Amino acid sequence: MTFANRHIGPDTDEQTHMLKAIGYASLDALMDAAIPEVIRWHGSLNLPAAASEEETIAELRAIASQNRVTTSMIGLGYYGTHTPAVIKRNVLENPAWYTAYTPYQPEISQGRLEALLNFQTMVTDLTGLTTANASMLDEGTAVAEAMTLAKRASKSKSMTYVVDADTLPQTLAILRTRAEPLGIDLQLVDLDAAEALPGEYFGLHLQYPGASGAVRDHAQLIEAAHAQGALVTVAADLLALTLLRAPGEIGADIAAGTTQRFGVPLGFGGPHAGYLAVRAGLERSLPGRLVGVSKDADGAPAYRLALQTREQHIRREKATSNICTAQVLLAVMASMYAVYHGPAGLREIAKRVHNHALTLAGSLTAGGVEVAHNAFFDTVTAVVPGRATEVVAAAATAGIDLRLVDGDRVSVATDETTTDAHVAAVLQAFGVRGTAVADCGAKPLARTSEYLTHPVFSSHHSETSMLRYLRKLSDRDYALDRGMIPLGSCTMKLNATTEMEPVTWPEFANIHPYAPAANTAGYERLVATLEEWLAEITGYDAVSVQPNAGSQGELAGLLAIRGYHRSRGEAHRDVCLIPSSAHGTNAASAVMAGMRVVVVACDDLGNVDMTDLHAKIDRFKDQLAAIMVTYPSTHGVYETSIADLCAAVHEAGGQVYVDGANLNALVGFARPGKFGADVSHLNLHKTFCIPHGGGGPGVGPVAVRAHLTEFLPGDPLEPGEHHAVSAAAHGSAGILPISWAYLRMMGPDGLAAATGTAVLTANYVAARLREHYPVLYAGNNGLVAHECILDLRPLTKATGVSVDDVAKRLIDYGFHAPTMSFPVAGTLMVEPTESEDLAELDRFVAAMIAIKGEIDQVAAGVWPAKDNPLANAPHTASAVTADEWEHPYPRSVAGFPEGVDRTAKYWPPVRRIDGAYGDRNLVCSCPSPEAFED
């Protein structure tokens, strides 16, 4: 059996059965009927023929072996760390964690929500602030979001943002990328030179400790900034904060940074969880997802995503940020690292790291080498006039990479993995003999306050207890390892084990993003091949995998369009047309790219309203920068008007951005780069098998036609013409082997078969459910693309049963709900994908039909509108087995509805959660254990 036959759920017989049900003789016939000829591509992908799982692993081993794993002491925000084996195997390599979806259905997500609440508590405790979100994409983008947060929250009218010159260089690059389109003026200030601050500024950014390693007392600067109405962000190293005064304690309004060194492998730059925390009063301006505590129908504490109305799904161009997919899996790992080590353990690690730095500094000084700062945590900058290159080369010979700052300076960063032998080898590279311990000047900044005092951080220090805690949490959650997750617009397909395996190989996991090129040939080859394959699949000329989420791909693509117009002297083109049905990230990204959003209406069939489009093009002709359309449409339909749409926009001088998140309906059959688009982003965490991780990681490559190639993202460490959108040149490189393996194992035929099967399963589900729930929108021949929208509005109107009720009742039937109320309120959007076999599809269809039967009972008055299995869903084991049962339907109907396997029932841990209560009473850190007593 080939890998494609393992990846694609339905076998030939099952496909024949489904084709028959929808009236087509073959997959080819179905695709011919579904896909409009204007976009159809009849070629065959020029990709290598499918390799077996074993061959693919062997090829990846060969590629991996071209990477050289060294001891990295480069630092700059990326550090060696020991991932506790219990966390590596039971989180990072465990499908119960990595195949989960974003916790929009909180009742089936309590495990990861608790882990994220631990993450938020860890961040707020260490930073000394009150509210932290549930992760950012990396430190650079977290700091950039802090800048825009400061702009929104500051009363100052100034457009000046003051930035500590000792900021990480990659962070500076991203700040530049983000500031320019918004008209924000960055002013670098050298704090050591005591340079004067400008008269007026809306925000101040400080790095703590600095990129050079220096630890400075920022309290006075912060006071001065506040005095003139500016907000202050401190980018802080969380491990250092176990020993140093917290940003909140020295007056910071915002703290941002990374949690990578809390047990998350380097991965050549990612994925890692960035963090962002704010003081009281700013929580409602916070970007990203935020976990909060609320209560369920029994009044028991329960977790959920809080303040979602801030997010781009609802606020669109007025959102706090475009961030959607974040870094949940990595945030879970970092939080578990803190749970495993506890406050004392973290402090011990930090002291060891610091002691190694003290020995380095002391020995260098004793050996006659000047050390640039006397107050530091883990990074020592040595001044070696004219000798820096030589020292770095000598260390490299000993297998240790140091940071070459310039011809005269070398930085050495110690971390959790640093040993006495490493320190000795580094000293030798400097030509220093004998050791001495420096006296650190950071003592006045020593931390005195407690942190991680919640019992969760001191209860699971034995491996047995840790293992059971991880199991307890993952058992509360529903992920792809239990059953299908039919989420529209999210493509929850198989994440094959063979694709996942290479991620934790040391040759991929333990490479610093700024490692010397000589050590990263394997990664460069992997990235180049993957970019080439993605260009072939999309029909574009060039691809960059740098963006570490779809949202960042959008920003990168729009910045490319912006750069293009500017290069042609048309900087005034700033209008971005966006259809009303678009994903919320589109509008939010356009604003970040400095564009004005103009909404284009959709017609009754869900297509872009061409009359309105032409009217808007006429109105904004000379200002038109771009249109952003999703294809197939957000409504899951292949629109035939796409070619006309592209032509009309081009004629007016605009560029066409096709949101390619739904590429699962196109691969092998249509290529956006050839049917009229200029730029797209793809979501490797949708179409190309990177698991969703419970809400991240992701990779959002940006693909462009030749005329936009020069505007693709550039290396953040090589500032110049090219904007960087992520802190590392190849973004979340550590998970690229997943998509590489998928493409290698599927080959051109397998990929086309996957697309065909995805369209088949969507049309099969639509056909089977159509008589029970109207299917909204269809394209050619009444066919949908890869997903379908079930309209519940007539039923809701007649019976009061809502989409929420159906979504929660599906939990009782053992399913994750489809996408709720997007893109149309009151509907469910179902995307079955090619990976679900007929039995699972039929099980889902049967559950939906049975639920329709239950709605009919409500309609008929058999069950009251307020007390029925739908209104009370989901039912917990505790509710069903309660000594008292006063509902008008039996317990068996509540807990074991039709088709549920009684021996393998998934029981949600909480009843329906009250969302509004949690938003009114915002609690975003771990509740005390007493809260759980009745």
Ligand X SMILES: *Cc1c(COP(=O)(O)O)cnc(C)c1O
Binding site for ligand X (CB under 6 A): 324-325, 489, 549-551, 583, 585, 630, 659, 661-662, 683, 698, 700
| Minimum distance of ligand X from residue 351's CB (angstroms) | 39
Distance of CA 925 to the CA centre of its chain: 21
| Minimum distance of ligand X from residue 313's CB (angstroms) | 10
Angle 529-535-537 (CA atoms, 0-180°, nearest 5)?
A: 105
Question: Nearer to ligand X by C-beta: 658 or 900?
Answer: 658
Q: Tell me, what DSSP letter sits at residue 92?
A: I
| Minimum distance of ligand X from residue 243's CB (angstroms) | 36
Residues 655, 625: contact at Cβ < 8 Å? yes
Question: Nearer to ligand X by C-beta: 247 or 695?
Answer: 695
Angle 704-708-713 (CA atoms, 0-180°, nearest 5)?
A: 80
Q: Verify cis geometry, omega within 30 degrees of 0, for the bond prior to 672.
A: no
Question: Nearer to ligand X by C-beta: 511 or 776?
Answer: 776
In this structure, the number of other CB atoms found within 10 A of the CB of residue 137 comes to 34
Assign 401 to helix, strand or coil: strand
| Minimum distance of ligand X from residue 340's CB (angstroms) | 29
| Minimum distance of ligand X from residue 684's CB (angstroms) | 9
CA distance 24 to 877: 44
| Minimum distance of ligand X from residue 788's CB (angstroms) | 15
Q: What is the largest CA-CA distance in the chain?
A: 90
Bridge partners, residue 600, by sequence: 579
| Minimum distance of ligand X from residue 115's CB (angstroms) | 20
Question: Nearer to ligand X by C-beta: 499 or 659?
Answer: 659
| Minimum distance of ligand X from residue 784's CB (angstroms) | 16
Q: Which two tokens stand for residue 384?
A: 């070696």
Assign 871 to helix, strand or coil: coil
Question: Nearer to ligand X by C-beta: 498 or 634?
Answer: 634
Residues 109, 913: contact at Cβ < 8 Å? no
Q: Which two tokens stand for residue 741?
A: 């393996």
Residue whose beta carbon is closest to ligand X: 550
Question: Nearer to ligand X by C-beta: 170 or 551?
Answer: 551
| Residue listed under structure tokens 């900087």 | 571
Q: Which is nearest to 248 in space by CA: 281, 202, 287?
A: 281
Q: Do β-strands 702-704 and 542-544 pair in parallel, antiparallel, or remain unpaired?
A: antiparallel
What are phi and psi for residue 596, nearest 5 degrees? -95, 130
| Minimum distance of ligand X from residue 426's CB (angstroms) | 40
| Minimum distance of ligand X from residue 719's CB (angstroms) | 25
Question: Nearer to ligand X by C-beta: 549 or 665?
Answer: 549
Question: Nearer to ligand X by C-beta: 128 or 698?
Answer: 698
Q: Do β-strands 231-236 and 203-208 pair in parallel, antiparallel, or remain unpaired?
A: parallel
Question: Nearer to ligand X by C-beta: 293 or 556?
Answer: 556
CA distance 836 to 845: 12
| Minimum distance of ligand X from residue 553's CB (angstroms) | 8
Q: Do β-strands 575-579 and 542-544 pair in parallel, antiparallel, or remain unpaired?
A: unpaired
Question: Nearer to ligand X by C-beta: 210 or 550?
Answer: 550
Angle 401-402-403 (CA atoms, 0-180°, nearest 5)?
A: 130
| Minimum distance of ligand X from residue 630's CB (angstroms) | 5
Residues 855, 799: contact at Cβ < 8 Å? yes
Question: Nearer to ligand X by C-beta: 500 or 684?
Answer: 684
Q: Which is nearest to 822 in space by CA: 833, 814, 830?
A: 830
User: What angle do the packed helices 736-769 and 53-64 form, to 10 degrees?
Assistant: 150
Question: Nearer to ligand X by C-beta: 154 or 489?
Answer: 489
- Sheet (strand 913-914) strand order: 301-305, 291-296, 913-914
In this structure, the number of other CB atoms found within 10 A of the CB of residue 921 comes to 12
| Minimum distance of ligand X from residue 734's CB (angstroms) | 17
Q: Which two tokens stand for residue 910?
A: 């909480």
| Minimum distance of ligand X from residue 674's CB (angstroms) | 20
Question: Nearer to ligand X by C-beta: 212 or 489?
Answer: 489
| Minimum distance of ligand X from residue 617's CB (angstroms) | 22
Alpha-helix runs per DSSP H in 539-639: 550-567, 584-592, 610-620
| Minimum distance of ligand X from residue 117's CB (angstroms) | 21
CA distance 910 to 106: 9
CA distance 708 to 635: 29
Question: Nearer to ligand X by C-beta: 489 or 498?
Answer: 489
| Minimum distance of ligand X from residue 384's CB (angstroms) | 44
For the chain, the C-alpha Rg in angstroms (whole number) is: 27
Give DSSP secondary structure letters for 212-227. TSB----HHHHHHHHH
Q: Which two tokens stand for residue 361?
A: 């500094």
Residues 761, 836: contact at Cβ < 8 Å? yes
Question: Nearer to ligand X by C-beta: 695 or 874?
Answer: 695
Q: Which two tokens stand for residue 577?
A: 């047309």
| CA separation, residue 911 to residues 96, 795, 872, 895, 900 (Å) | 21, 24, 8, 12, 19
Which amino acid is residue 439, in one-letter code?
Answer: D
Distance of CA 920 to the CA centre of its chain: 27
Question: Nearer to ligand X by C-beta: 701 or 737?
Answer: 701
Question: Nearer to ligand X by C-beta: 7 or 786?
Answer: 786
Question: Nearer to ligand X by C-beta: 297 or 307?
Answer: 307
| Minimum distance of ligand X from residue 686's CB (angstroms) | 6
Q: Which residues contact 83 (CB under 8 A, 6 or more apart)?
A: 92, 263, 264, 265, 333, 337
- For CA atoms 266, 267, 268, 269, the dihedral sign is negative
CA distance 741 to 361: 45
